[in-house]
Amino acid sequence: MVTGGARGIGFEIARSFVDAGAKVVLGDLNGDAVKIAADTLGGAAVATGVRCDVTDSGDMDELIGTAVEGFGSLDVMVNNAGITRDATMRTMTEEDFDLVISVHLKGTWNGTRKAAAIMREAKRGAIVNISSLSGKVGMVGQTNYSAAKAGIVGMTKAAAKEVAHHGVRVNAIQPGLIRSAMTEAMPQKAWDQKMAEIPMQRAGEVSEVASVALFLASDMSSYMTGTVLEVTGGRFM
Ligand code: NDP
């Protein structure tokens, strides 16, 4: 299952899972887009798209129910849905602070706890949470987003400790500058500044995050839990 799976990093993670033989359920705020995304991945036999607001506990129950009832189990959960509402502290509204915290932190908490509840019964499962380099170093204009993404790291480690003995692994990824709709909306000056900080001198592709998510979702990482993998081209190492 992948939240925020209609486009960008989430969609590419879902595509890589399908290519590896998985069946996927995509959840996204945009109900039409997520159904089209599921069709693009091969339709009902391998992919289902469901409208879901990750901040809503009932929506998350429905999403997980679709996976369990439709495909028989829930083996992997990727908490990827995210938004930005950038502004310096001087101008950021309380509403935009709360919204970003809610989508990332409450959304990831909902996905993690509800997926873990099913996985611990099955005695196996992998949860992958998408944090951000912004949560490691803090970025100007992102007091809301950096706080939320750092919080995802703490949540990942706490959850990993709670469920490790049930056979459930919980890990996180911190992507750096990745080409997606989220970053393409950035002003050119901000893009150029970020590029100058990247030792590999290029932005990452969504496929380069997806391959790490596939690694953390698979038994190739069977002895890893509570870790944070940076996918950044070496930025802020
Ligand atoms: P996109 O904006 O391209 O995709 C995010 C998806 O999440 C959208 O389809 C969006 O739907 C959906 N979404 C937003 N809010 C909710 C919600 N409440 N419930 C369900 N779905 C929701 O972003 P990216 O693919 O770039 O980002 C994916 C993740 O990676 C995010 O968590 C982001 O913070 C993180 N990340 C991205 C980086 C980058 O450089 N791109 C760097 C570091 C981290 P809608 O279109 O309807 O809003």
What are the angstrom distances between the C-alpha of 84 and each of 26, 67, 181, 213? Answer: 21, 28, 11, 21
Domain 2-231 falls under CATH 3.40.50.720: yes
Judge if the beta carbon of residue 144 lies within 6 A of ligand 1: no
What are the angstrom distances between the C-alpha of 24 and each of 1, 126, 129, 167, 193? Answer: 5, 14, 16, 21, 37
What are the angstrom distances between the C-alpha of 204 and each of 131, 140, 184? Answer: 15, 21, 12
223 in catalytic set: no
Nearest CA to ligand 1 atom 3: 8
Instruction: Write out the two tokens for 152.
Output: 């995802």
If one counts every other C-beta atom within 10 angstroms of the C-beta of residue 177, the result is 20
Phi-psi region of 60 (alpha: psi -120 to 50; beta: other; left: phi over 0): alpha
Instruction: Write out the two tokens for 122.
Output: 């099955």
Cα of 4 vs centre of ligand 1, distance in Å, is 6
pTM of the predicted model, to two decimals? Answer: 0.98
* pLDDT at residue 177 greater than cutoff 90: yes
Residue 126: per-residue pLDDT? 99
Q: d(Cα 104, Cα 152) in Å, to the nearest integer?
A: 8
Q: Which residues of 64-80 are buried (b: 16+ CB within 10 A; e: fewer)?
A: bebbeeebeebbbbbbb
Nearest CA to ligand 1 atom 19: 53
Domain ranges of the chain: 2-231
Judge if the beta carbon of residue 67 lies within 6 A of ligand 1: no
Residue 53: per-residue pLDDT? 98
- Compute the average pLDDT of residues 204-215: 98
Cα of 137 vs centre of ligand 1, distance in Å, is 20
Nearest CA to ligand 1 atom 6: 4
Q: Which residues of 183-201 are buried (b: 16+ CB within 10 A; e: fewer)?
A: beeeeeeeeeebeeebeee
* pLDDT at residue 170 greater than cutoff 90: yes
Judge if the beta carbon of residue 204 lies within 6 A of ligand 1: no
